[in-house]
Structure 1
Amino acid sequence: MYKKMFLSWIEEGVVSIPSFLFSYYKKIGLTDLECMTLLHIYSFIENGNDFPTHDEIAERMTLNVEQCSQLIGSLVQRNYLEIIKGKSDNGIYFEKYSLRPLWMRLIDEHILNEKGEIQAQQKDEEGNVFTMFEQEFARPLSPIEIETITMWLDNDQHEPALIKAALKEAVMSGKLNFRYIDRILFEWKKNGIKTVEQAQEQGKKFRMHQQQKRKIDEPVKRNDSVPFYNWLEN
């Protein structure tokens, strides 16, 4: 679905072809000369000539006609360029170049590059979780504690931001221990909470409920602390 959408953007001119091609041509195995040749073919097609001769292409470049012919043959053979043959409504046979194989290679490389960036960002976020725990506990984590956090990330699939939110909840509640944090994450998962915003909203509702309850049970002193939920007693 994403590849089809991106392909339509390319063919409709939404994506800047030269910029897109320059970003990835080396990664998909093209040389500088091959990239320039494809750009010339693209330029011909954009100007209404979808099957320029080797002479026309070579005239724009430092290649002679034979070199141009060999280079284009190589691009077709290696599936960067396609020659489409057909028959018009008037019964006339025709040939034209198609750059769709090139677009598909560029799209695949773009998707791969984005996935790599996302994975790198996720690794950074996960690393920050361990750092944040060590800062709050004011000591290096034990092997068991490291394993526990790893299980939250890998087995339970908790987002790093949500684990940080659970740690913050434990700090605010004055119950800084792994058992308490694990219980928070368990309750959040059980209640379908997947984002920090949802967790904060639940905490806000609970505290409002607790404050209203205390107003009914006894007068509230001005310096009373804000109540926190004891997840272990739930």
Structure 2
Amino acid sequence: MNQFIKNYINFGETNISNLLLRDYRKLNINNDELVVILECKRFIDHGIEFPDVEIIADNMQTTSKEIYNTFNSLVNKGLLKIDSYKGSNDKIHSRCNFDPLYEKLLKITSSDVDHTSLKADSESTQSEIFNKIEVEFGRSLSPMELQTVNRWINEDHFKPKIILLALREAVIRQAFSLRYIDKILLNWQKKNLTTPGQVEHELSMQRKHQKYSVINNDLNDDKGPDIPLFNLSNSK
């Protein structure tokens, strides 16, 4: 084994999370700060809780003052804590604590997962709307019609449930047209009906009104038999 390989093995390796390398910019970490974090990780992996600032400065070809400034920047950004503790000889020691960094990194990762999940749910809901319309219409939607449904969801921001309620009303009226559904949605929008509950209440009130109108019309039509008029003064 030659000397280079021995040195390579003796230096060891530093394990770094790929999440940090991917998302460090999202944490407002600049390139110099990232290198300092990696240097600190290298020391910590070798059991040195607080790194030798001069060695880091020499490796980065800068000054110790700049390294201390970088430490202060990481502390101010809430990414690093410098903990102090009393050793076995009652001497005060310092150590780098990057728990705040990892906690923020975890939040970003969780947020990305939630965003991906929401996006997947949205795409799933959109697909369900497409399928429901095609089933009710008994045919496939044209590219133009697909764009119309996309506009309802992504531009007009109609709730999927409200779109399905509008579809239901169109089907009840045997109006198998997206233009008719669009008119229903715009009408509800003008009335400021923004939730499925509000729409259901409005539809319920309309049906009650229509029912009473039919009853009143039936009553008006049912006048009973005509009663003949007699001129009593001429009767004998």
Do they superpose with TM above 0.5? yes
CA distance in structure 2 between the aligned counterparts of 1:118 and 1:153, rounded to whole angstroms: 14
Contact 2:153 2:160 in 1 (8 A): yes
CA contact (8 A) 1:125 1:160 kept: yes
Question: Compared with structure 1, are the counterparts of its residues 143 and 93 closer, same or farther at alpha carbon in structure 2 (3 Å cutoff)?
Answer: same
**Using the alignment, how far apart are the partners of 2:17 and 2:161 within structure 1?**
36
Partner residue in 1 for 2:80: 82
Q: Which of structure 1's runs of 4+ aligned residues deviate more than 3 A?
A: 65-68, 70-74, 92-98
State the Cα deviation string for residues 31-62 of structure 1 (Å, max 9, x = none): xxxxxxxxxxxxxxxxxxxxxxxxxxxxxxxx
Shift of 1:166: 0.8
Contact 1:85 1:93 in 2 (8 A): no
C-alpha RMSD of the superposition: 3.7
What is the CA distance between 1:159 and its match in structure 2? 2.0
Q: Any unmatched runs of 5+ in structure 1?
A: 1-24, 31-64, 87-91, 221-234
Label 1:26 to 1:200 Cα distance change in 2 as closer, same or farther (>3 A).
Answer: farther
- Supply the distance in 2 between the matched residues of 1:200 and 1:72 (Cα, whole angstroms): 65
Q: Classify the secondary structure of the residue corresponding to 1:84.
A: strand
TM-aligned CA distance change 1:70 to 1:178, over 3 Å: same
Aligned residue number for residue 111 of structure 1: 111
SS of the equivalent of 2:194 reads: coil
Q: What is the aligned residue count?
A: 156
Instruction: Name the counterpart of 1:102.
Output: 102
Change in Cα spacing, 1:27 to 1:211, as seen in structure 2 (3 Å) is: farther
User: Given residue 190 of structure 2, which amino acid in structure 1 is its aligned partner?
Assistant: K
**Paired residue type of 1:200:** E
Q: Return the index of the structure with the highest Cα Rg.
A: 2
Higher mean displacement: 195-204 or 111-120: 195-204
The residue identity in structure 2 corresponding to 1:82 is L
Q: SS of the residue aligned with 1:131?
A: helix
Give 1:216 shift.
2.2
Judged with a 3 Å threshold, the aligned counterparts in structure 2 of structure 1 residues 105 and 136 are, in CA distance, closer, same or farther, namely same
**Maintained 8 Å contact 1:83/1:95:** no
CA–CA distance in structure 2, aligned partners of residues 84 and 139 of structure 1 = 66
Determine helix, strand or coil for the equivalent of 1:141.
coil
Distance 1:175 1:217 in 2: 26
* 3-state DSSP of counterpart to 2:134: helix
CA deviation profile, 1:62-116 (whole Å, cap 9, x unmatched): xxx9843369869xx9x79734268xxxxx9774636212111111111111111
Give the fraction of aligned pairs with identical amino acids, expressed as a percent: 24
2:119 & 2:44 partners in 1: Cα distance?
Answer: 46
Q: Which amino acid in the other structure matches residue 127 of structure 1?
A: S
State the distance in 1 between where 2:94 and 2:180 align: 70
Q: 1:5-25 CA deviation, whole Å, 9 max, x = no partner?
A: xxxxxxxxxxxxxxxxxxxx9
With over 3 angstroms needed to count, the CA separation of the structure-2 counterparts of 1:84 and 1:123, relative to structure 1, is same
Name the counterpart of 2:129.
129
2:207 maps to which residue? Answer: 207
CA displacement 1:163-220 (0-9 Å, x = unmatched): 1111111112222222211111001111122222221111001111221222223249
Q: Match of 1:17?
A: none
State the AA in 2 paired with 1:69: G
Would the alpha carbon gap of residues 109 and 66 (structure 1) be closer, same or farther in structure 2, given more than 3 Å must change?
closer
The structure with higher relative contact order (CA 8 Å, sep 6+) is: 1
Which residue in 1 is equivalent to 2:67? Answer: none
SS of aligned partner of 1:28: helix
